[in-house]
Amino acid sequence: MLRTITIGDLLDETTEKYGQKEALVYQERGLRYTYQEFQEICNQVAKGFMSLGIQKGENMAIWATNVPEWVITQFASAKMGGVLVTVNTSYRTHELEYLLRQSESTTLLLIGSFRDANYVDMVREICPELDHCEPGKLESARLPHLKNVIYLGEDRQPGMFTWKDLLERATLLDEQERIKRQRSLDPDDVINMQYTSGTTGFPKGVMLSHSNIVNNAIKVAECQRLGAEDRVCIPVPFFHCFGCVMGTLACVATGATMVPVIAFEPGLVLSVVENEHCTALYGVPTMFIAELNHPSFEQRNLSSLRTGIMAGSPCPIEVMKNVVEKMGIRDITIAYGQTESSPVITQTRPEDSIERRVATVGRVHDGVEAKVVDPVTGETLPANVQGELCTRGYLVMKGYYNMPEQTKMVIDAEGWLHTGDLATIDEEGYYRITGRLKDMIIRGGENIYPREVEEFLYAHPKILDVQVVGVPDSKYGEQVLACIRVKPGEDLKVEEVKEFCDGRIARFKVPHYIQFVEEYPMTASGKIQKFKLREQAMQAIGLETKGQNDTA
């Protein structure tokens, strides 16, 4: 049964039932909100946003780690109708500018820095006008839509509001105005936008409605049997659906407690699970591997763990077994999907055998249609025959923002979303993901589209041509390999290429391997054969092309 409800109303409904129960806990900050307190701060921040003149349907970008302000903003923006545009924390100036411009975001919320990246400096580089403008009155030459920049920190930054300003501005607005705004929202309205390279082209803004993500969160929770007594440790980033739909929204849908980790660190995750008696743990396979191999692992009491989700990239069978046996997460589930499907299409259930849970990605959620088709003819294929996985139902995105042609390429006239993934389905409805139609790279849960990296590297003055492929990696699943043809008469070194990338594109997109080649393998019609290029490159760097680890 699907729900017809907005995110704001869902939070109010859960607060009505579980007002005095813990909603949000941050061990690192010593912060604890009951559902009543969480609802109040979200209402306050919603009014703060409205006081800035942000209208229903306006795009609001957030560039931050899993800080408390992120999850508050998620629900506050949903209550006043702002569309939350999530920004990858690994982005650099080139990608940030593209996203803000393409999304036409009017507001940007950001933290000061993360790891070696200074976010404030990068925003100033793109918008030097910030140094001389009043907060809320930005007029940027490069980003004409951007007006409000909100700094999620204590100190004051030129041209930016602070989080404290936002809380104080809430008093400028009557509570009835906020209630009226919330009541004007429709469950079918777009409320979340996530940028993904998907299967074709440059990053695209995936438009997701309240109905898309509320119902997907509910189905994800059902597959784990989550309830109000559960406490979910969320170390996966909020800027992905894994964090903000399968994580925070699934908790609010069931009355469970959100227990986020601001930035993944395996020892910290183990500490949070132990101290907060978490019953569920989320992660991509690399996170679980890091936790299992942490020096403190044997000393940790993880007996509270019951369920959770491993997703984001193929899950090695041995890792899955260790999570069940050594971490004791007996009801761990595997989920598969993509941002365009809100995100989960299939998921295993706790009652599935360990064999099912390590060898497949489960069955479709209730209320979801799926089929495996011949990529050429579109004909539906029988069981155990490989083809492209397609899905249809409430979970399919509203489309790519301002990209109608790209939307038509992935959603057909009958409403089927073509995932670009190759799969088989067995007689009992269990799916296996067997490959990808396109050449997208998945590195540690991050989608990397080769063309985006290629276009960036083409800008290097010494590069004549470049082809990017993914190669197997035991830690991250895949790594980026760039095969570069250098311009005649030029001399180019690996270090120069890496230096060119440093600080300009996200670290996970920077080629791990760089090879200089004279030519590429071609078809008779002159098309580059990427699969052959990949095989040749793997041979040259000593990677095996066969006998890789089995994955679900």
pLDDT digits (tens, 9 = 90+) for 470-481: 999 989 999 999
163-176 pLDDT per residue, tens: 999 999 999 999 99
pLDDT tens-place string over residues 90-109: 999 999 999 999 999 999 99
Q: Is the model more confident about 171 or about 198?
A: 171
Residue carrying the six token digits 């006239």: 413
pLDDT of 365: 98
Please state which of the ranges 145-159, 196-210, 248-262 shows the lowest mean pLDDT. 196-210
Per DSSP, what are the bridge partners of residue 24? 33, 258
Q: What is the pLDDT of residues 269-297, one digit of tens each?
A: 999 999 999 999 999 988 999 999 999 99
DSSP label at residue 500: H
Q: Mean pLDDT throughout 140-151?
A: 98
Cβ–Cβ < 8 Å for 552, 432: yes
Residue 532: pLDDT band by 50, 70, 90 thresholds? confident
* 311 neighbors 284 (Cβ within 8 angstroms): yes
Q: What is the pLDDT of residues 445-456, one digit of tens each?
A: 887 878 789 889
- Position 375 confidence tier, pLDDT thresholds 50, 70, 90: confident
Range of lowest pLDDT (447-456, 493-502, 543-552): 543-552
Residue 372 has pLDDT above 80, yes or no: yes
Is the per-residue pLDDT at 490 higher than 90? yes
20-24, 124-128, 161-165, 524-528: which has the minimum mean pLDDT? Answer: 524-528
Q: If you search the block for the tokens 């604890």, which residue do you land on?
A: 32
Q: According to the model, what pLDDT value does residue 547 have?
A: 36
Q: Which of 112, 118, 88 is nearest to 100 (CA)?
A: 88
With 60 as the cut, is the pLDDT of residue 552 above it? no
Q: Collect all residues with Cβ–Cβ distance below 8 Å to 305 and sequence separation of at least 6.
A: 273, 278, 279, 280, 281, 327, 328, 329
Instruction: Check if the beta carbon of residue 170 is closer than 8 Å to that of residue 45.
Output: yes
Mean pLDDT of the chain: 93
Strand-pair category, 231-234 with 257-260: parallel
pLDDT at position 544: 64
pLDDT in tens, 321-351: 899 999 999 999 999 999 999 999 999 999 9
8 A C-beta contact, residue 471 and residue 507:
no
| Biggest distance spanned by C-alpha atoms of the chain | 72
Look at the block and give the residue holding tokens 């395996």.
Answer: 266
User: Thinking of the domain 441-540, which architecture would CATH place it in?
Assistant: 2-Layer Sandwich (3.30)
- Asked if 470 and 478 touch (Cβ cutoff 8 Å), the reply is yes
Structure tokens at 202: 């440059």
